[in-house]
Homo-oligomer: A and B are copies of this chain.
């Protein structure tokens, strides 16, 4: 594929600005480390890993060794992935010109099967600031079986890797921690470093301010939803039910709601906390439609997180209306449960709301019209050109990963911090993967896994949304963000997500 489009070519030429501290790459050394508290239970799974926090300070110009490093993508695409690899490559070469970088193909399975390519400047020059993970591909294979660990150990030893960088979400980074533990146990000198990736925004802690990809995805969706909102108030005849990515946490839905001001936005975490039933949720939507109809407004915009159904209290197959039981027969599992992950949430809700509204029409309590349109904001938000924020953030993350490998740190997540400041003032660091974990039931076993960050219902962003949402129900206040811009005034090209801004307040 040859890049023919103008934006593609222009973006290829622009090396992202680095934080000032990373400009002195070869003078950086580790500051005194201190222990983070990790439970004994979690520590028992990782006896060979440290729990020390890390930060960097400017020191004497050090001598850097030549390094051999591997890198791979794991899980779903997020904008900026290629810049992590290019940042890693550029930093490795700055620290030692003979260092080498290898990319494993198709995600973790490439690591198991030893499928890789060597990355060089020529090849990488086609990927700067470009979307997708297509340089290497990605995959969701989990390294869990003993023979997989053995194969991976053999491959990294053969390749003489000093470091392995895993660009992934919570599950992939949990896997990274187990790999780091295995390598340490087996005296394999390959440092394992994780990079926080996920458009869902649920890989987030006190130290990880945001995962990369969230900025671009939520802006891409906000643009689309804004267009849909403008269509709604223009034609005044459709109810748009917009489903947004986010199987677990509703960060994307909350961010887009805070940006676009829809008439309603459902937040899974709130549904769970308030133990909402399907019936009460449907009634809430119908109530919105009725109140708007009474003002002559037969249109609207409702945002729905993809994973909503999992959070509904007492959702079962038999609780559905008979008509829907037939329609959703294919989603009934052998135990009579509803396989919610297979259901198109927005279409499912539309069906249920329709039944209710039709009933109310016959009873005479609803006098408007109801024309719903399902929309899914999904795959188009994962592989787009990274926003300037994500482009710079990921390029810096790649640099940090290189530093960590040079310091022989293993089982760490690379960090870039103070992200609400100007890029020049961003800080860097690392946090042990252990410290991000909690114990969770997985396939009947209590296991240490990196904890997903859910929407904080006491957090500032949700609270602000809660204050405003009643106003937005009946009084349209749609906002139109427009498409991501790469040129023009900085207030336009470099604006931040409210999720990041409010968290940092």
Question: Residues 216-258 of chain A: 1 if any B CB is under 8 Å from the residue's CB, otherwise 0?
Answer: 0000100110111011011110101000000000000000000
Over the window 1-31 of chain A, the binary record of Cβ atoms lying under 8 Å from chain B Cβ atoms (1 yes, 0 no) is 1111111101100000000000000000000
Which chain B residue lies CB-closest to A344? B374
| A398 close to chain B: CB less than 8 A | no
A10 touches B483 (CB 8 A): no
In A467-500, the 8 Å CB interface with B consists of 476-489, 491-492, 495
The answer to whether A480 and B230 touch across the interface, beta carbons within 8 angstroms, is no
Residue A286, interface by CB 8 Å: no
State the CA gap A231–B5 with chains docked (Å): 17
Closest chain B CB from A199 CB (angstroms): 11
Query: Could you tell me the distance in whole angstroms from the C-beta of A231 to the nearest C-beta in chain B?
Result: 4
Instruction: Check if A385 is an interface residue, CB within 8 A of chain B.
Output: yes
A479 to B5, Cβ gap below 8 A? yes
Check if B483 sits within 8 Å of A483, measured CB to CB: yes
A77–B231 CB distance below 8 A: yes
A375 at the interface (CB under 8 A from B): yes
| A397-450 with Cβ < 8 A to chain B | none
Residues of B close to A230: CB separation below 8 A: 77, 130-132, 134, 383-384
Contact partner of A4 (CB less than 8 A), chosen from B3, B223, B479, B483, is B479
> Are the CB atoms of B495 and A138 closer together than 8 Å?
no
Residues in chain B near residue A380, CB distance under 8 A: 224, 227-228, 231, 375
Q: How many whole Å from A169's CB to the nearest CB in chain B? A: 14
Q: Determine if B231 and A485 form an interchain contact, defined as CB atoms under 8 angstroms apart.
A: no
Instruction: Judge if A133 is at the interface, Cβ distance under 8 Å.
Output: yes
Interface residue count on the A side (C-beta < 8 Å):
63
In the bound assembly, the distance between CA atoms of A484 and B480 in angstroms comes to: 14
With contacts A5-B479, A379-B373 known, is A231 near B487, CB below 8 A? no
A227: shortest Cβ distance to chain B, in Å? 4
So how many copies of this chain end up in the complex? 2
Q: Are B485 and A485 in contact (CB under 8 A)?
A: yes
A227 near B384: Cβ-Cβ < 8 Å: yes
Task: Say yes or no for A262: interface residue by CB 8 A criterion.
Answer: no
| Max chain B Cβ within 10 angstroms of own Cβ: one of A11, A224, A476 | A224
> Smallest Cβ distance from A124 to chain B, in angstroms?
16
Q: Which of A6, A477, A479 has the most CB of B within 10 A?
A: A6
Report B-chain residues with C-beta under 8 Å of the C-beta of A201. none
CA gap between A366 and B7 in the complex, in Å: 39
A153 part of interface (Cβ distance < 8 Å): no
- Distance from A185 Cβ to chain B, minimum over Cβ atoms (Å): 33
Pick the contact of A482 from B8, B73, B373 — CB < 8 Å? B8
Note all chain B residues with C-beta closer than 8 A to A235: 76-77, 133, 137-138
Interface centre among A228, A373, A379, A385 (most CB of B within 10 A): A379
Residue in B131, B259, B486 whose CB lies within 8 Å of A485: B486
- What would 27 A/B residue contacts be, using CB atoms closer than 8 Å? A4-B479, A5-B226, A5-B259, A5-B479, A5-B482, A7-B481, A7-B482, A7-B485, A76-B235, A77-B234, A77-B235, A131-B227, A131-B480, A137-B235, A223-B384, A223-B483, A227-B380, A227-B384, A230-B384, A231-B383, A240-B379, A373-B379, A375-B380, A385-B483, A485-B485, A487-B487, A487-B492
